[in-house]
Amino acid sequence: MRELVVHELLFDAAYQHESQSVISGHHLYTYGAIHTRAVRLAERMVRLGISPGTVVGVMDVNSHRYLELKYALSMVGAVIHTINFRLSPEDILFTIHHARDEWLFLWEGFGTLAQSLSNSVPHCVWMGSETGGRGSTDYETLIAEGREQVPDIAGTIAPSDWYSVFYTTGTTGKPKGIRYTHQQMLMGALQIAHHLALHDTGAKLSAQDVIMPLIPFFHIHGWGAPFIATYLGASLVLPELGGPAEQIGWIRQHHVSWSNMVPTQLFMLLEEAQKQQLDRLTLKVLTGGSPLSLGLARRADQFGISLSLIYGGSDQLGSAISTATQPKGPHRLEQLTTRLTPLPMAHIEVRNDSLELTPSDGNTLGEVWVQSPWLPDGYLNDSEQTAAAFNHGWFRSGDLAVRYPDGRLYVLDRTKDAIKSGGEWIAGSTIESVLSEVPGVNAAAVIAVPDDKWGERPLAVVEVQGEVSQETLYQALNQAVAQGRLVKFWIPDTIRFIDRMPLTSAGKINKAALRAGT
Protein backbone atom coordinates (compact mmCIF):
# COMPACT_ATOMS: atom_id res chain seq x y z
CA MET A 1 0.00 0.00 0.00
CA ARG A 2 1.30 3.43 -0.88
CA GLU A 3 1.89 5.76 2.07
CA LEU A 4 2.24 9.50 2.58
CA VAL A 5 6.05 9.40 2.59
CA VAL A 6 8.46 11.66 0.77
CA HIS A 7 9.91 9.25 -1.79
CA GLU A 8 6.43 8.41 -3.11
CA LEU A 9 6.37 11.91 -4.65
CA LEU A 10 9.37 11.07 -6.82
CA PHE A 11 8.00 7.63 -7.73
CA ASP A 12 4.82 9.32 -8.94
CA ALA A 13 6.66 12.09 -10.82
CA ALA A 14 8.85 9.55 -12.61
CA TYR A 15 5.72 7.66 -13.66
CA GLN A 16 3.45 10.59 -14.52
CA HIS A 17 5.98 13.21 -15.66
CA GLU A 18 9.07 11.21 -16.62
CA SER A 19 10.32 13.63 -19.31
CA GLN A 20 9.64 16.88 -17.42
CA SER A 21 12.85 18.85 -17.04
CA VAL A 22 14.92 19.37 -13.90
CA ILE A 23 17.69 21.90 -14.57
CA SER A 24 20.54 22.25 -12.10
CA GLY A 25 23.08 24.90 -13.02
CA HIS A 26 24.34 23.78 -16.42
CA HIS A 27 23.03 20.22 -16.08
CA LEU A 28 19.77 19.07 -17.68
CA TYR A 29 17.94 16.14 -16.11
CA THR A 30 14.36 14.85 -16.09
CA TYR A 31 12.23 13.48 -13.27
CA GLY A 32 12.89 10.05 -14.77
CA ALA A 33 16.66 10.59 -14.56
CA ILE A 34 16.48 12.04 -11.03
CA HIS A 35 14.45 8.99 -9.99
CA THR A 36 17.06 6.60 -11.42
CA ARG A 37 19.94 8.44 -9.76
CA ALA A 38 18.12 8.61 -6.40
CA VAL A 39 17.27 4.89 -6.50
CA ARG A 40 20.89 3.93 -7.29
CA LEU A 41 22.10 6.23 -4.51
CA ALA A 42 19.64 4.76 -2.00
CA GLU A 43 20.59 1.20 -2.89
CA ARG A 44 24.27 1.98 -2.43
CA MET A 45 23.63 3.76 0.88
CA VAL A 46 21.90 0.68 2.26
CA ARG A 47 25.04 -1.35 1.55
CA LEU A 48 27.10 1.35 3.27
CA GLY A 49 25.08 0.83 6.42
CA ILE A 50 22.80 3.87 6.29
CA SER A 51 19.52 2.62 7.75
CA PRO A 52 16.25 3.82 9.32
CA GLY A 53 16.97 6.47 11.94
CA THR A 54 20.52 7.26 10.74
CA VAL A 55 20.97 11.04 10.82
CA VAL A 56 22.65 12.33 7.66
CA GLY A 57 23.79 15.94 7.41
CA VAL A 58 23.69 17.58 3.98
CA MET A 59 25.48 20.86 3.23
CA ASP A 60 24.96 21.98 -0.35
CA VAL A 61 23.48 24.77 -2.43
CA ASN A 62 20.16 24.21 -4.23
CA SER A 63 21.20 21.52 -6.71
CA HIS A 64 20.19 18.22 -8.29
CA ARG A 65 22.40 16.51 -5.68
CA TYR A 66 20.35 17.96 -2.83
CA LEU A 67 17.10 17.05 -4.59
CA GLU A 68 18.27 13.46 -5.09
CA LEU A 69 19.34 13.16 -1.47
CA LYS A 70 15.93 14.32 -0.20
CA TYR A 71 14.36 11.33 -1.92
CA ALA A 72 17.18 8.77 -1.58
CA LEU A 73 17.41 9.27 2.20
CA SER A 74 13.64 8.93 2.41
CA MET A 75 13.85 5.54 0.67
CA VAL A 76 16.23 4.19 3.30
CA GLY A 77 14.40 5.74 6.26
CA ALA A 78 17.30 8.00 7.24
CA VAL A 79 16.76 11.44 8.82
CA ILE A 80 18.09 14.28 6.67
CA HIS A 81 19.69 17.15 8.58
CA THR A 82 19.66 20.17 6.27
CA ILE A 83 22.73 22.11 7.42
CA ASN A 84 22.55 25.90 7.37
CA PHE A 85 25.89 26.87 5.82
CA ARG A 86 25.28 30.55 6.64
CA LEU A 87 25.58 29.96 10.37
CA SER A 88 28.91 30.56 12.05
CA PRO A 89 31.30 27.57 11.90
CA GLU A 90 30.81 27.10 15.65
CA ASP A 91 27.02 26.98 15.30
CA ILE A 92 27.22 24.62 12.31
CA LEU A 93 29.34 22.25 14.37
CA PHE A 94 26.88 22.60 17.25
CA THR A 95 23.96 21.54 15.03
CA ILE A 96 25.92 18.56 13.65
CA HIS A 97 26.65 17.28 17.15
CA HIS A 98 23.21 18.19 18.54
CA ALA A 99 21.42 16.33 15.72
CA ARG A 100 23.87 13.41 16.16
CA ASP A 101 24.84 13.23 12.51
CA GLU A 102 26.62 9.99 11.58
CA TRP A 103 27.23 10.92 7.94
CA LEU A 104 27.93 14.20 6.16
CA PHE A 105 27.36 14.90 2.47
CA LEU A 106 29.47 18.00 1.79
CA TRP A 107 29.74 20.09 -1.38
CA GLU A 108 33.36 20.81 -2.29
CA GLY A 109 32.45 24.37 -3.20
CA PHE A 110 32.42 25.30 0.50
CA GLY A 111 36.20 24.79 0.56
CA THR A 112 37.89 25.10 3.93
CA LEU A 113 34.55 25.26 5.79
CA ALA A 114 33.57 21.83 4.46
CA GLN A 115 37.06 20.46 5.07
CA SER A 116 36.95 21.62 8.70
CA LEU A 117 33.65 19.80 9.23
CA SER A 118 34.58 16.56 7.48
CA ASN A 119 36.28 15.05 10.51
CA SER A 120 33.42 15.84 12.91
CA VAL A 121 31.46 12.67 12.07
CA PRO A 122 32.44 9.04 11.36
CA HIS A 123 31.61 9.16 7.63
CA CYS A 124 31.85 11.82 4.94
CA VAL A 125 30.83 11.91 1.26
CA TRP A 126 32.17 14.62 -1.01
CA MET A 127 29.97 16.19 -3.65
CA GLY A 128 31.73 18.04 -6.44
CA SER A 129 32.75 17.53 -10.03
CA GLU A 130 31.36 14.67 -12.06
CA THR A 131 34.81 13.03 -12.15
CA GLY A 132 35.42 12.50 -8.47
CA GLY A 133 36.02 14.03 -5.07
CA ARG A 134 38.97 14.29 -2.74
CA GLY A 135 40.04 10.68 -2.78
CA SER A 136 37.54 9.59 -0.12
CA THR A 137 33.92 8.56 -0.64
CA ASP A 138 32.55 10.45 -3.64
CA TYR A 139 28.91 11.19 -4.46
CA GLU A 140 28.98 10.35 -8.17
CA THR A 141 30.89 7.16 -7.45
CA LEU A 142 28.16 6.05 -5.07
CA ILE A 143 25.55 6.56 -7.79
CA ALA A 144 27.67 4.71 -10.35
CA GLU A 145 28.12 1.79 -7.94
CA GLY A 146 24.45 1.64 -6.98
CA ARG A 147 21.99 -0.82 -8.50
CA GLU A 148 18.83 0.42 -10.16
CA GLN A 149 16.71 -1.34 -7.60
CA VAL A 150 14.48 0.32 -5.01
CA PRO A 151 15.66 -0.87 -1.57
CA ASP A 152 13.22 -3.23 0.14
CA ILE A 153 13.28 -0.96 3.20
CA ALA A 154 11.53 1.78 1.17
CA GLY A 155 8.27 -0.15 1.38
CA THR A 156 8.37 -0.21 5.19
CA ILE A 157 8.77 3.54 5.82
CA ALA A 158 5.71 4.95 7.61
CA PRO A 159 4.24 8.48 7.54
CA SER A 160 4.93 8.78 11.28
CA ASP A 161 8.66 8.05 10.86
CA TRP A 162 11.07 10.96 11.30
CA TYR A 163 12.11 12.47 7.98
CA SER A 164 14.05 15.63 8.70
CA VAL A 165 15.70 17.80 11.32
CA PHE A 166 16.69 21.42 10.79
CA TYR A 167 17.59 24.38 12.96
CA THR A 168 16.49 27.94 13.64
CA THR A 169 18.91 30.71 12.72
CA GLY A 170 20.11 31.19 16.28
CA THR A 171 20.03 35.00 16.36
CA THR A 172 18.97 34.96 20.04
CA GLY A 173 21.06 32.07 21.31
CA LYS A 174 22.06 28.62 20.10
CA PRO A 175 20.08 27.30 17.11
CA LYS A 176 17.07 25.19 18.11
CA GLY A 177 16.45 21.86 16.39
CA ILE A 178 13.04 20.82 15.05
CA ARG A 179 12.14 17.34 13.78
CA TYR A 180 9.39 16.57 11.28
CA THR A 181 7.87 13.28 10.21
CA HIS A 182 7.18 12.41 6.57
CA GLN A 183 3.51 13.20 7.02
CA GLN A 184 4.12 16.55 8.73
CA MET A 185 6.66 17.62 6.12
CA LEU A 186 4.44 16.72 3.18
CA MET A 187 1.22 18.11 4.64
CA GLY A 188 2.89 21.45 5.35
CA ALA A 189 4.38 21.69 1.87
CA LEU A 190 1.37 20.47 -0.08
CA GLN A 191 -1.06 22.74 1.77
CA ILE A 192 1.00 25.66 0.46
CA ALA A 193 0.49 24.31 -3.07
CA HIS A 194 -3.23 23.84 -2.52
CA HIS A 195 -3.63 27.33 -1.07
CA LEU A 196 -1.78 28.95 -3.98
CA ALA A 197 -3.83 26.97 -6.48
CA LEU A 198 -7.20 27.69 -4.88
CA HIS A 199 -7.00 31.27 -3.63
CA ASP A 200 -6.87 34.62 -5.35
CA THR A 201 -3.23 35.48 -4.76
CA GLY A 202 -0.25 36.92 -6.59
CA ALA A 203 1.86 33.76 -6.53
CA LYS A 204 -0.83 31.60 -8.14
CA LEU A 205 0.62 28.13 -8.75
CA SER A 206 -0.09 25.47 -11.35
CA ALA A 207 1.53 22.43 -12.95
CA GLN A 208 2.38 24.56 -15.99
CA ASP A 209 4.71 26.80 -13.99
CA VAL A 210 8.48 26.62 -14.20
CA ILE A 211 9.62 26.76 -10.56
CA MET A 212 12.94 28.19 -9.38
CA PRO A 213 13.30 28.13 -5.57
CA LEU A 214 15.68 30.78 -4.26
CA ILE A 215 15.00 29.95 -0.62
CA PRO A 216 17.94 27.69 0.35
CA PHE A 217 17.05 24.04 0.85
CA PHE A 218 18.47 24.21 4.37
CA HIS A 219 15.63 26.61 5.28
CA ILE A 220 12.51 24.44 5.74
CA HIS A 221 13.49 22.54 2.58
CA GLY A 222 13.21 25.70 0.48
CA TRP A 223 9.72 26.27 1.96
CA GLY A 224 8.74 22.89 0.54
CA ALA A 225 9.35 23.95 -3.08
CA PRO A 226 11.19 20.76 -4.18
CA PHE A 227 8.28 18.68 -2.85
CA ILE A 228 5.69 20.98 -4.42
CA ALA A 229 7.36 20.93 -7.85
CA THR A 230 7.66 17.14 -7.80
CA TYR A 231 4.06 16.77 -6.63
CA LEU A 232 2.81 18.94 -9.48
CA GLY A 233 5.23 17.52 -12.04
CA ALA A 234 6.29 21.09 -12.80
CA SER A 235 9.61 21.92 -14.44
CA LEU A 236 12.22 22.74 -11.82
CA VAL A 237 15.21 25.07 -12.13
CA LEU A 238 17.82 24.79 -9.36
CA PRO A 239 20.10 27.85 -9.33
CA GLU A 240 22.99 26.30 -7.37
CA LEU A 241 25.37 29.14 -6.42
CA GLY A 242 24.23 31.81 -8.88
CA GLY A 243 23.67 35.41 -7.81
CA PRO A 244 20.99 37.87 -9.04
CA ALA A 245 22.59 38.26 -12.49
CA GLU A 246 22.65 34.51 -13.07
CA GLN A 247 19.13 34.18 -11.65
CA ILE A 248 17.77 36.69 -14.14
CA GLY A 249 19.60 34.82 -16.90
CA TRP A 250 17.91 31.55 -15.90
CA ILE A 251 14.52 33.24 -15.58
CA ARG A 252 14.79 34.46 -19.15
CA GLN A 253 16.49 31.38 -20.61
CA HIS A 254 14.25 28.75 -19.00
CA HIS A 255 11.04 30.84 -18.86
CA VAL A 256 10.85 30.62 -15.07
CA SER A 257 7.38 31.76 -14.00
CA TRP A 258 7.37 31.11 -10.23
CA SER A 259 9.92 31.57 -7.46
CA ASN A 260 10.26 32.04 -3.73
CA MET A 261 12.62 34.39 -1.90
CA VAL A 262 12.94 36.61 1.17
CA PRO A 263 12.44 40.38 0.68
CA THR A 264 16.19 41.08 0.65
CA GLN A 265 16.62 38.62 -2.24
CA LEU A 266 13.73 40.29 -4.05
CA PHE A 267 15.38 43.67 -3.57
CA MET A 268 18.68 42.39 -5.00
CA LEU A 269 16.87 40.81 -7.96
CA LEU A 270 15.16 44.12 -8.74
CA GLU A 271 18.45 46.00 -8.39
CA GLU A 272 20.01 43.67 -10.95
CA ALA A 273 17.02 44.02 -13.28
CA GLN A 274 17.40 47.79 -13.14
CA LYS A 275 21.15 47.47 -13.72
CA GLN A 276 20.44 45.41 -16.84
CA GLN A 277 17.91 48.07 -17.91
CA LEU A 278 15.06 45.58 -18.04
CA ASP A 279 11.56 47.00 -18.28
CA ARG A 280 9.79 43.87 -17.05
CA LEU A 281 10.62 40.68 -15.20
CA THR A 282 7.35 38.79 -15.41
CA LEU A 283 7.39 36.45 -12.44
CA LYS A 284 5.16 35.18 -9.63
CA VAL A 285 6.94 35.39 -6.27
CA LEU A 286 6.16 33.94 -2.86
CA THR A 287 8.04 36.00 -0.30
CA GLY A 288 8.24 36.03 3.49
CA GLY A 289 10.54 35.55 6.44
CA SER A 290 10.12 39.22 7.32
CA PRO A 291 7.44 41.85 6.64
CA LEU A 292 7.15 42.92 3.00
CA SER A 293 7.31 46.70 2.77
CA LEU A 294 4.85 48.50 0.55
CA GLY A 295 7.72 50.32 -1.16
CA LEU A 296 9.34 47.05 -2.23
CA ALA A 297 5.97 45.63 -3.31
CA ARG A 298 5.33 48.67 -5.49
CA ARG A 299 8.76 48.46 -7.05
CA ALA A 300 8.24 44.77 -7.84
CA ASP A 301 4.87 45.57 -9.34
CA GLN A 302 6.49 48.07 -11.71
CA PHE A 303 8.63 45.22 -13.07
CA GLY A 304 5.58 43.00 -13.62
CA ILE A 305 6.22 40.80 -10.58
CA SER A 306 3.10 39.60 -8.76
CA LEU A 307 3.52 38.79 -5.08
CA SER A 308 2.16 36.74 -2.22
CA LEU A 309 3.40 36.96 1.35
CA ILE A 310 3.76 33.74 3.35
CA TYR A 311 3.80 33.54 7.14
CA GLY A 312 5.41 30.69 9.06
CA GLY A 313 8.78 29.51 10.27
CA SER A 314 11.02 26.54 10.99
CA ASP A 315 9.02 25.70 14.11
CA GLN A 316 5.57 25.79 12.47
CA LEU A 317 6.16 25.45 8.68
CA GLY A 318 3.74 27.56 6.60
CA SER A 319 0.60 28.82 8.33
CA ALA A 320 -0.92 31.62 6.21
CA ILE A 321 -0.54 33.30 2.81
CA SER A 322 -1.72 36.73 1.69
CA THR A 323 -4.81 37.02 -0.49
CA ALA A 324 -6.63 39.99 -1.95
CA THR A 325 -10.36 40.57 -2.23
CA GLN A 326 -9.74 43.26 -4.84
CA PRO A 327 -6.76 41.97 -6.84
CA LYS A 328 -7.09 44.71 -9.47
CA GLY A 329 -8.40 47.51 -7.28
CA PRO A 330 -6.56 50.62 -6.05
CA HIS A 331 -5.56 48.92 -2.79
CA ARG A 332 -4.36 45.69 -4.41
CA LEU A 333 -0.79 45.87 -3.10
CA GLU A 334 -1.86 46.95 0.36
CA GLN A 335 -4.16 43.89 0.48
CA LEU A 336 -1.42 41.55 -0.70
CA THR A 337 1.06 42.80 1.90
CA THR A 338 -1.30 43.00 4.90
CA ARG A 339 -4.04 40.34 4.57
CA LEU A 340 -3.02 36.76 5.31
CA THR A 341 -5.45 33.85 4.97
CA PRO A 342 -4.68 30.74 7.08
CA LEU A 343 -3.73 27.64 5.11
CA PRO A 344 -6.28 24.84 4.91
CA MET A 345 -6.39 23.01 8.26
CA ALA A 346 -4.27 25.68 10.00
CA HIS A 347 -6.01 27.28 12.97
CA ILE A 348 -4.65 30.68 14.00
CA GLU A 349 -5.66 32.75 17.01
CA VAL A 350 -4.47 36.16 18.22
CA ARG A 351 -4.31 36.38 22.02
CA ASN A 352 -3.51 39.13 24.54
CA ASP A 353 -1.18 38.90 27.55
CA SER A 354 -3.97 37.16 29.51
CA LEU A 355 -4.20 34.53 26.72
CA GLU A 356 -7.70 35.78 25.79
CA LEU A 357 -8.71 36.21 22.15
CA THR A 358 -8.30 39.77 20.91
CA PRO A 359 -11.23 41.41 19.10
CA SER A 360 -11.20 40.97 15.31
CA ASP A 361 -11.23 44.71 14.69
CA GLY A 362 -8.08 45.10 12.58
CA ASN A 363 -6.51 47.28 15.29
CA THR A 364 -5.88 45.33 18.50
CA LEU A 365 -2.43 43.79 18.66
CA GLY A 366 -1.89 40.36 20.16
CA GLU A 367 0.38 37.33 19.90
CA VAL A 368 -0.13 34.72 17.17
CA TRP A 369 -0.92 31.18 18.34
CA VAL A 370 -0.91 28.42 15.70
CA GLN A 371 -2.34 24.93 15.57
CA SER A 372 -2.06 22.55 12.60
CA PRO A 373 -1.69 18.84 11.77
CA TRP A 374 1.93 19.43 10.76
CA LEU A 375 2.98 21.23 13.95
CA PRO A 376 5.97 19.55 15.68
CA ASP A 377 5.82 18.53 19.32
CA GLY A 378 8.67 20.77 20.42
CA TYR A 379 12.38 21.45 20.10
CA LEU A 380 14.86 18.61 19.91
CA ASN A 381 16.38 17.80 23.32
CA ASP A 382 15.33 21.20 24.73
CA SER A 383 12.52 20.85 27.27
CA GLU A 384 12.83 24.42 28.55
CA GLN A 385 12.36 26.08 25.14
CA THR A 386 9.65 23.56 24.27
CA ALA A 387 7.66 24.40 27.40
CA ALA A 388 7.89 28.11 26.59
CA ALA A 389 6.67 27.81 22.98
CA PHE A 390 4.47 24.70 22.71
CA ASN A 391 1.30 24.48 24.77
CA HIS A 392 -1.29 21.69 24.47
CA GLY A 393 -1.02 21.40 20.70
CA TRP A 394 -0.57 25.12 20.12
CA PHE A 395 2.60 26.94 19.07
CA ARG A 396 3.14 30.32 20.70
CA SER A 397 4.88 32.17 17.87
CA GLY A 398 6.18 35.33 19.51
CA ASP A 399 4.73 37.33 16.59
CA LEU A 400 2.41 40.31 16.96
CA ALA A 401 -0.62 40.55 14.69
CA VAL A 402 -4.10 42.02 14.32
CA ARG A 403 -7.16 40.03 13.22
CA TYR A 404 -9.77 41.32 10.78
CA PRO A 405 -13.53 40.59 10.90
CA ASP A 406 -13.21 38.23 7.89
CA GLY A 407 -10.71 36.03 9.76
CA ARG A 408 -7.59 37.17 7.94
CA LEU A 409 -4.65 38.56 9.87
CA TYR A 410 -1.76 40.98 9.49
CA VAL A 411 1.51 40.00 11.18
CA LEU A 412 3.29 43.22 12.09
CA ASP A 413 6.36 42.29 14.09
CA ARG A 414 8.13 39.92 16.45
CA THR A 415 7.42 40.65 20.10
CA LYS A 416 11.19 40.91 20.62
CA ASP A 417 11.40 43.48 17.80
CA ALA A 418 8.27 45.51 18.63
CA ILE A 419 8.56 48.64 20.76
CA LYS A 420 6.48 49.23 23.88
CA SER A 421 6.37 52.96 24.52
CA GLY A 422 4.35 54.33 27.43
CA GLY A 423 2.56 50.99 27.72
CA GLU A 424 1.47 51.02 24.04
CA TRP A 425 2.80 48.78 21.26
CA ILE A 426 4.55 50.39 18.29
CA ALA A 427 4.82 48.17 15.21
CA GLY A 428 8.21 48.91 13.71
CA SER A 429 7.35 47.10 10.46
CA THR A 430 4.67 49.69 9.66
CA ILE A 431 7.19 52.51 10.08
CA GLU A 432 9.69 50.55 7.96
CA SER A 433 7.11 50.19 5.21
CA VAL A 434 6.54 53.95 5.07
CA LEU A 435 10.27 54.68 4.97
CA SER A 436 10.75 52.10 2.21
CA GLU A 437 8.51 54.14 -0.09
CA VAL A 438 10.93 57.08 -0.09
CA PRO A 439 13.01 57.05 -3.31
CA GLY A 440 16.62 56.10 -2.56
CA VAL A 441 15.87 54.01 0.55
CA ASN A 442 17.25 50.51 0.04
CA ALA A 443 16.28 49.12 3.44
CA ALA A 444 14.86 50.34 6.73
CA ALA A 445 14.78 48.83 10.21
CA VAL A 446 13.15 50.17 13.34
CA ILE A 447 14.42 49.01 16.72
CA ALA A 448 13.68 49.86 20.34
CA VAL A 449 16.05 51.97 22.42
CA PRO A 450 15.68 52.59 26.17
CA ASP A 451 13.98 55.82 27.24
CA ASP A 452 13.76 57.15 30.81
CA LYS A 453 10.28 58.60 30.34
CA TRP A 454 8.52 56.16 28.02
CA GLY A 455 10.43 52.93 28.68
CA GLU A 456 11.26 52.47 24.99
CA ARG A 457 11.25 54.65 21.90
CA PRO A 458 11.72 53.73 18.24
CA LEU A 459 15.01 54.33 16.42
CA ALA A 460 15.02 54.07 12.62
CA VAL A 461 18.08 52.76 10.79
CA VAL A 462 18.12 53.25 7.01
CA GLU A 463 20.38 52.16 4.17
CA VAL A 464 20.18 54.55 1.22
CA GLN A 465 21.75 55.17 -2.15
CA GLY A 466 22.20 58.69 -3.40
CA GLU A 467 21.16 61.78 -1.46
CA VAL A 468 18.37 61.12 1.03
CA SER A 469 18.00 63.57 3.92
CA GLN A 470 16.48 63.13 7.37
CA GLU A 471 14.11 65.95 6.48
CA THR A 472 12.77 63.97 3.51
CA LEU A 473 12.25 60.90 5.68
CA TYR A 474 10.43 62.85 8.40
CA GLN A 475 8.22 64.45 5.76
CA ALA A 476 7.19 60.99 4.59
CA LEU A 477 6.46 59.87 8.16
CA ASN A 478 4.38 62.96 8.94
CA GLN A 479 2.46 62.53 5.70
CA ALA A 480 1.68 58.93 6.74
CA VAL A 481 0.33 60.28 10.04
CA ALA A 482 -1.92 62.71 8.14
CA GLN A 483 -3.18 59.80 6.00
CA GLY A 484 -3.99 57.73 9.08
CA ARG A 485 -1.32 55.10 8.34
CA LEU A 486 0.78 55.93 11.41
CA VAL A 487 0.06 57.22 14.89
CA LYS A 488 2.01 60.42 15.64
CA PHE A 489 3.81 59.05 18.72
CA TRP A 490 5.13 56.19 16.54
CA ILE A 491 7.45 58.57 14.65
CA PRO A 492 11.06 57.73 15.63
CA ASP A 493 12.91 60.31 17.68
CA THR A 494 16.10 59.52 15.76
CA ILE A 495 16.91 58.36 12.24
CA ARG A 496 20.36 56.88 11.72
CA PHE A 497 22.01 56.16 8.36
CA ILE A 498 24.02 52.97 7.81
CA ASP A 499 26.28 51.93 4.91
CA ARG A 500 25.04 48.34 4.75
CA MET A 501 22.28 46.60 6.66
CA PRO A 502 23.43 43.48 8.58
CA LEU A 503 21.62 40.28 7.59
CA THR A 504 20.95 36.97 9.36
CA SER A 505 21.79 33.59 7.84
CA ALA A 506 18.21 33.48 6.48
CA GLY A 507 18.65 36.79 4.64
CA LYS A 508 16.58 38.86 7.07
CA ILE A 509 17.70 42.17 8.57
CA ASN A 510 19.60 41.33 11.74
CA LYS A 511 17.93 43.58 14.30
CA ALA A 512 19.84 41.93 17.14
CA ALA A 513 23.07 43.19 15.56
CA LEU A 514 21.57 46.66 15.14
CA ARG A 515 20.48 46.74 18.78
CA ALA A 516 23.94 45.61 19.89
CA GLY A 517 25.44 48.51 17.96
CA THR A 518 23.31 51.22 19.55
Assess whether pLDDT exceeds 70 at residue 325.
no
- Same-domain check for residues 470 and 407: no
The pLDDT value recorded for residue 261 is 95
Q: Which of 70, 121, 73, 112 is nearest to 93 (CA)?
A: 121
Phi–psi pair at 427, nearest 5 degrees: -90, 105
Task: Kindly tell me if the per-residue pLDDT of 468 is higher than 80.
Answer: yes
Identify whether 350 is part of a domain. Answer: yes
Same domain, 305 and 450: no
Helix (H, G, I), strand (E, B) or coil at 415: coil
pLDDT in tens, 328-381: 666 678 777 788 999 999 999 999 989 999 999 988 889 999 999 999 999 999
* Residues 474 and 374 placed together within one structural domain of the fold: no
Pairing of strands 347-351, 366-371: antiparallel
Q: What is the pLDDT of residue 170?
A: 63
How far apart CA 327 and CA 335 sit, in angstroms, is 8
What is the average per-residue pLDDT within 267-282? 93
Q: How far is CA 50 from the centre of its chain?
A: 29
Percent of the chain whose pLDDT exceeds 90: 71
One DSSP character per residue, 149-170 reads: S--GGGGG--TTSEEEEEE---
Closest CA to 260 of 242, 240, 284, 282: 284
pLDDT of res. 38: 98
Are 354 and 206 within 8 A, CB to CB? no
Across-strand partners of 220?
Answer: none
Instruction: Please say which residue of 411, 428, 449 terminates a domain.
Output: 411
Residues 479, 353 share a domain: no
- Give the SS3 label for residue 378: coil
List residues bridging with 461 in a β-sheet: 445, 496
Q: Of 110-124, 274-288, 419-433, where does mean pLDDT reach its minimum? A: 419-433
Can you give the pLDDT at residue 368?
95
207 domain residue, yes or no: yes
Count of alpha carbons within 13 angstroms of residue 348, beta-carbon side: 30
- The answer for residues whose C-beta is within 8 angstroms of residue 345's C-beta and 6 or more apart is 187, 191, 372, 373
Residue 1 covered by a domain:
no
The number of distinct structural domains making up the chain is 2
Distance of alpha carbon 264 from alpha carbon 249, whole angstroms: 19
Q: Structure pTM?
A: 0.87
Q: CA 503, CA 340: separation in Å to the nearest integer?
A: 25
Same domain, 336 and 278: yes
CATH of the domain at 485: 3.30.300.30
Q: Are residues 239 and 256 in the same domain?
A: yes
| Residue 321 sits in the same domain as residue 446 | no
> What is the dihedral angle through the alpha carbons of 252, 223, 232, 3, rounded to the nearest 10 degrees?
160
50: domain CATH number is: 3.40.50.12780
pLDDT of residue 130: 46
pLDDT computed for residue 57 by the predictor: 98
Residues near 374 by beta carbon (within 8 Å), at least 6 away in sequence: 180, 183, 184, 185, 187, 188, 191, 317
Q: Which is it for the CA torsion 80, 81, 84, 90, positive or negative?
A: negative
Q: 344-372 in b/e burial notation, b at 16+ Cβ within 10 A? A: eebebbbeeeeeeebebeeeebbbbbbbb
Is 485 contained in some domain? yes
* Cα–Cα nearest to 164, from 102, 79, 62, 221: 79
Angle at the Cα of 298 from the Cα atoms of 472 and 411, rounded to 5 degrees? 90
The boundaries of the domain holding residue 30 are 6-411
CA–CA separation, 169 vs 85, rounded Å? 11
Residue 507, exposed/middle/buried by CB under 10 A (0-12, 13-18, 19+)? buried
Which has more confidence, 46 or 174?
Answer: 46
Q: What is the DSSP letter of 509?
A: B
Residues 253-274: what's their mean pLDDT?
94
* Domain limit, last residue, from 376, 411, 446: 411
Task: List, for residues 76-120, the tens digit of each pLDDT value.
Answer: 999 999 999 988 899 999 999 999 999 999 999 999 999 999 999
CA distance 328 to 326: 6
Distance, CA of 281 to CA of 306 (rounded, Å): 10
Note whether 23 and 112 are same-domain residues: yes
Q: Tell me the average pLDDT across 497-514.
A: 84
User: What are the CA-CA distances from residue 43 to residues 2, 39, 182, 512 (Å)?
Assistant: 20, 6, 20, 45
- The pLDDT, as a whole number, for residue 131 is 40
pLDDT above 60: residue 129 = no
- Which residue, of 364, 384, 411, is where some domain finishes? 411
Give 518's pLDDT tier (boundaries 50, 70, 90): low
- In this structure, the answer to whether residues 65 and 135 fall within a common structural domain is yes
Q: Is the pLDDT of residue 122 over 60?
A: yes
**Rounded Cα distance, 485 and 67, in Å:** 44
pLDDT at 133: 43
Q: Is residue 404 part of a domain?
A: yes
Q: Has residue 418 got a pLDDT over 90?
A: no
Q: Are residues 216 and 176 in the same domain?
A: yes
pLDDT of residue 132: 41
- 11 located within any domain: yes
**Residue 515: helix, strand or coil by DSSP?**
helix
Higher pLDDT, 320 or 174: 320
- Nearest CA to 285 out of 336, 353, 340 is that of 336
Please provide the average confidence, as pLDDT, over all residues in the chain: 91
Identify the burial level of 138 via C-beta atoms within 10 angstroms of its C-beta, where 0-12 means exposed, 13-18 middle and 19 or more buried: buried
- 265 and 353: one domain? yes
| CA distance to 171, 174, 221, 426, 508, per residue, from 503 (Å) | 10, 17, 20, 23, 5
- The whole-angstrom separation of Cα 296 and Cα 288 is 12
As a whole number, mean pLDDT of residues 427-444 equals 88
The pLDDT tens digits of the residues spanning 438-458 come to: 999 998 999 988 887 888 899
Q: Same domain for 152 and 185?
A: yes
Tell me the pLDDT tens digit for each residue of 367-389: 999 999 999 999 999 999 999 99
CA–CA–CA angle 334, 337, 341 (5° rounding): 110
Question: What single letter denotes the amino acid at residue 408?
Answer: R
